[in-house]
Amino acid sequence: MTVLEEMGKKAKHAARELAAAGRLREKALFAMARAVEHEVDAILAANRLDLRQAEKDGMSAPLMDRLALSDTRVRAMAEGIRSVAAQADPVGQVVSGFVRPNGLKIEKIRVPIGVIGMIYEARPNVTADAAALCLKAGNAVILRGGREAIHSNEAIAQAMRGALESCKMNPDCIQLVRDPSRESAVEMMQLTGLIDVLIPRGGRGLIRSVVENSRVPVIQTGAGNCHVYVDDSADVAMAAKIICNAKTSRPSVCNAIETILVHRGIAERALPAIQAALDQKNVELRGCERTRAILGDRVVPATEDDWGREYLDYILAVRVVDDMDEALRHIARYSTGHSEAIVTSSYENARRFTTAVDAAAVYVNASTRFTDGGEFGLGAEIGISTQKLHARGPMGAFELTSYKFIVTGSGQIR
């Protein structure tokens, strides 16, 4: 038996215990939050090891930002766990129920999925968020974080497993893969029967590789090529504020925008205001010919390649469009189905945009940065699904459950 098979079997066993644990799960979550706070020094020391190695390896600034922990970020991690603990328990919820004409009572009851496998990259807070959400929903979890964060992840997982033990719960509800190699990820993708669902979280390459190679069912998350469309009826100041926020408040995350589409009827007024706002954050613009005609040569010429890029950096592509139809076609072609926004003052255009755009979250007059489990009130998130099956958008504990039908009768036959 390989190390991962053994972890899978332990996880299956732990999951069976967990499904029956009831209120104990909530108690364990509060203990996990306390343990993470209590171990803040050990976690930050481990994180410094990871950061030192990352610096040696020449990691880019946005990736370093994803990896870095601070006292504040560790406390936010603990608060995230508490916030998950405080959510309503999804397990056992009667989703619906009715009595059939023949007297059979049919109830649809929410149940855990079983064992969740997480494959993720640099962000160590995923370790805490994923463990908390899986536990909340009665699932065991196998965490396979990135090599870059291995020390941080081990320190966080150790704190949480200790908390489970202190509550007399099976620590194997939360297991971390010690070997963050390509091989361990590939092996997880083959563990059908032991892992019930695999959630990849990270860059486009990672996600594509898992989606294409996994035999375990996958929930596709993340990759966000998000757009803001500035309608000709838009409030220019609002558009500039939303675009600047959606691009620069945290460029390394998936709900940050990568391209703006500006109606030609407002481009001459809107583009200079948008550029002025972005200049303050040193954002590089890559524009189509019409954009450059308005903003000048400081704007790098955009190529076809730019429309499909997820920069995750202080770079923004800009395209002037003839009308909303052209904007909708551009979005239909290049969007990854994550978050898309319109800035408009037209009721009809708002209505049309929200109906026509096929994405997990469609915004009117707000920043795409709100596509987030915390901002949506889920406590935390295990990822943002960009697929349509099972779950779409931010996924919390509720999205980590399934259901079953319980049918009770008095001898009914068909």
Is-contact 242 262, C-beta < 8 A?
Answer: no
**Closest C-alpha to 227, from 120, 303, 337:** 337
- Is residue 408 within the footprint of a copy of itself (CB under 8 A)? yes
41: which residues sit within 8 A by CB, 6+ positions away? none
- Terminal-residue alpha carbon distance, the chain: 46
Q: In whole angstroms, what separates CA 6 from the centre of its chain?
A: 28
Interatomic CA distance for residues 259 and 247, integer angstroms: 9
109, exposed or middle or buried, with CB in 10 Å at 0-12, 13-18, 19+?
A: middle
* CB of 71 or CB of 375, closer to a copy of itself: 375
Strand arrangement of the beta sheet that strand 174-176 belongs to: 174-176, 140-144, 115-120, 197-201
C-beta closer to a copy of itself: residue 178 or 404: 404
Out of 173, 360, 380, 397, the only residue in the binding site for a copy of itself (CB under 8 A) is: 360
# chain residues binding a copy of itself, by CB under 8 A: 59
- Cβ proximity to a copy of itself, 149 vs 270, nearer residue: 270
Binder among 72, 282, 304, 411 for a copy of itself (CB under 8 A): 411
Q: How far is Cα 283 from Cα 260, in angstroms, rounded to an integer?
A: 13
| Binding letters toward a copy of itself, positions 243-282, x by CB under 8 A | --xx--x---------------------------------
Q: Are 258 and 310 within 8 A, CB to CB? A: yes
Task: Decide whether 275 or 367 has the Cβ nearer to a copy of itself.
Answer: 367
From the CB of 146, what's the least distance to a copy of itself, in Å? 25
Least Å from the CB of residue 91 to a copy of itself: 11
Site residues for a copy of itself, window 11-70 (CB under 8 A)? 20
- Neighbour tally for 80: CB within 10 Å: 22
Contact between 407 and a copy of itself per CB under 8 A: yes
Among 113, 210, 230, 397, binds a copy of itself (CB under 8 A): 113
Residues at the site binding a copy of itself, with contacts judged by CB under 8 A: 20, 98, 100, 104, 106, 111, 113-114, 196-197, 212, 215, 217, 219, 235, 238, 241-242, 245-246, 249, 350, 354-355, 358-367, 369-371, 375-377, 387-390, 392-393, 402-414
